[in-house]
Structure 1
Amino acid sequence: MIKIAMVEDDLELADVLTQYLKKFNIEVTNYEEPFMALSSLKLNKFDLVILDLTLPGMDGLDVCKEIVKNFDIPIIISSARSDITDKVTALQLGADDYLPKPYDPRELEVRIKTILRRFNHTKENESKIVKKFVLDEEKKQISKNENYVKLTAAEYEVLSLMIKRENFVISREEIFENSDLLNQDYESSGSLAVIINRIRQKIEDNPKEPKYLQTIRGMGYKFTQ
């Protein structure tokens, strides 16, 4: 059975969708309040999230950002907001699809299964690839070829973010936004570049010609392996 976490404060719509999707072996658990949804994602295994944007207490785009940051799960935005900026922002944040309300529940059912087929296929392919770098968030450790890389707290924060966003360009601003240790003083003093260089000294075969942690001129950094 496919398990869905829905974040929707329109309880009548949530009930209609829940009853409809049940016919297709899709079990929906709805959360009217976004903070409850985020807490539940930490405790329960879901296959996909259906997320409204207009929610009590927290904007849906912020919820989307938190889910992408902390969970490896596909997201369908289900929203009555017609501003194209919201759609573009949601997709840029990492949402997999955007379904404007009102829509036919049959379309939602098809999109759920299409996204899960693509997502699961990607995960299967990733599992076949042997990774040089492994991130252990529980222990806050990173290893290369099964050897622990000794990092400072700031170096770990930066490298762990890069590994989680592998193959994506991460801007300097996004690094600061996702860091509890770095602040704007690092940006003004150029210390972020110093941290990047220190990381390269520890993970690259040739730090002067980085293969894993690359600088993308004018955009930021990208981690590949």
Structure 2
Amino acid sequence: MTNVRILIVEDEIALAEVVRDYLRSDGMEVELLSTGTHAVETVLAKRHDLIILDLMLPGVDGLTICRELRQRSDVPIIMTTARVEEIDRLLGLELGADDYVCKPYSPRELVARVRAVLRRRPSGGQATETEAVRLHIDPEKWRATLDGADLDLTRREFSLLAALAARPGRVFSRDQLLSLAFPDDTEVFDRTIDSHIRNIRRKIHSKTDWDPIRSVYGVGYAYEG
């Protein structure tokens, strides 16, 4: 992936350098910052294509940086943290990061996440369709098709898939999915989400091996179509 400029804001220098080397081997240009003090100014001045942002930083923390950037830029942000519990808290704060990764992580996985986020940026809209498998979600008809074949989703399954697909790559907690997909449905609970996800996956897997829904351990789900 050439002509892509990445900024890594990470105070663990050895980790940042390993990630930098992996990204460079994938053809990307990478800049490192070990503190958060000048992160916002650097992003705005140099117009990076994506930021890998640690939560705990000397100077200015990642939480503050993310908030400030979202007021002034739509640059993709992948936030990293050493504790999975922090991811759940960050989701509740609605910071607007594009993805969250918990340490320790595989540099290869992080590179894959970077590529996935960058691929999603040019596309938009409410309906979702992928070129590879042609999953199409039609909110007006309450219909989801895969390669033209109806997935026969229930109304609740469709609502859940549509809520996830409306924000590709965004990690949602179960509580957030309840609010988005079932705001007036008092018979759906947080753990019911898991059952509906299993049913959606089963219906997709009946037609293809592709799985568009990523499970984030201890947190929730993201649509990776």
TM-score normalised over the length of structure 2: 0.51
Number of residues of Structure 1 aligned to a counterpart in Structure 2: 123
Which residue number in structure 2 is paired with residue 114 of structure 1?
116
Which residue number in structure 2 is paired with residue 147 of structure 1?
none
Matches within 5 A, 1:84-99: 84=86, 85-89=88-92, 92-99=94-101
Which residue number in structure 1 is paired with residue 20 of structure 2?
18
1:60 deviation in Å?
1.3
Matches within 5 A, 1:97-176: 97-122=99-124
Q: Which amino acid aligns with 2:17?
A: D
Partner of 1:98, secondary structure, is strand
1:52 deviation in Å?
0.1
Which residue number in structure 2 is paired with residue 5 of structure 1?
7
Partner of 1:50, secondary structure, is strand
- Partners of 1:122 and 1:34 in 2: CA distance: 30
Q: Which amino acid aligns with 1:21?
A: L
Moved more, 79-88 or 50-59: 79-88
Q: Which amino acid aligns with 1:64?
A: C
- Partners of 1:26 and 1:117 in 2: CA distance: 14
1:122 deviation in Å?
2.9
Partner of 2:67, secondary structure, is helix
1:112 deviation in Å?
0.8
Which residue number in structure 2 is paired with residue 47 of structure 1?
49
Which residue number in structure 1 is paired with residue 77 of structure 2?
75
Runs (4 or more) in structure 1 with deviation over 4 Å come to none
- Partners of 1:103 and 1:54 in 2: CA distance: 16
Partner of 2:122, secondary structure, is helix
Q: Which amino acid aligns with 1:87?
A: L
Q: Which amino acid aligns with 1:111?
A: R
1:59 deviation in Å?
2.1
Partner of 2:84, secondary structure, is coil
Which residue number in structure 2 is paired with residue 129 of structure 1?
none
Q: 1:30 to 1:86 in 2, by over 3 A?
A: farther
- Partners of 1:56 and 1:120 in 2: CA distance: 33
| Higher RCO, Cα 8 Å, sep 6+ | 2
TM-score normalised over the length of structure 1: 0.51
1:78 deviation in Å?
1.4
Choose the corresponding residue for 2:37, options 35, 38, 55. Answer: 35
Partner of 2:79, secondary structure, is strand
Fraction of identical pairs, as percent: 40
Unmatched runs of 5 consecutive residues or more in structure 1: 124-225
1:87 deviation in Å?
3.4
Partner of 1:30, secondary structure, is strand
Contact 2:37 2:58 in 1 (8 A): no
- Partners of 2:47 and 2:101 in 1: CA distance: 23
Kindly provide the CA deviation profile for residues 157-209 of structure 1, in whole angstroms up to 9, marking residues without a partner as x: xxxxxxxxxxxxxxxxxxxxxxxxxxxxxxxxxxxxxxxxxxxxxxxxxxxxx
Larger radius of gyration: 1
Partner of 1:108, secondary structure, is helix
Which residue number in structure 1 is paired with residue 135 of structure 2?
none
- Partners of 1:89 and 1:34 in 2: CA distance: 22
1:35 deviation in Å?
2.2
1:83 deviation in Å?
1.9
- Superposition RMSD in Å: 1.9
